[in-house]
Amino acid sequence: MKTTWIALAALSLASAGCATFEGMSNAEKGAVVGAGIGAVGGAAATNGGVLGTVGGAAVGGVIGNEVGKRR
C-alpha cells in the first residue's frame, strides 16, 4: 500500500511538471521524466522505502538529463 502512495505521488509531481514543459530544454524535460520514472522504480524495488524512492529519483533525473542533452 505504501508503494502505491509513493508511486501516485511521483506521478502527480511528474504530471504537474508536464504542465510547464513549454519553456524547458530537452535536458530539463529528460530530467523531469527520468526522476519520475526513477522514483517509481526505486519505490517498487525497495517496497516503498524512502531512500530507494529518493535515490531512484536522483539517478533517474541524472540519466534523463544526459539522454535529453543528446536529442
The pLDDT, as a whole number, for residue 59 is 94
Which residue ranges of the chain lie beneath pLDDT 50? none
pLDDT at 18: 61
Per DSSP, helices labelled H in 19-71 are 26-45, 50-69
Residue 23 contacts residue 9 (beta carbons within 8 Å):
no
Residue 48: left if φ>0, alpha if ψ -120 to 50, beta else—which one? left
pTM listed for this prediction: 0.72
- Residue 70, pLDDT score: 87
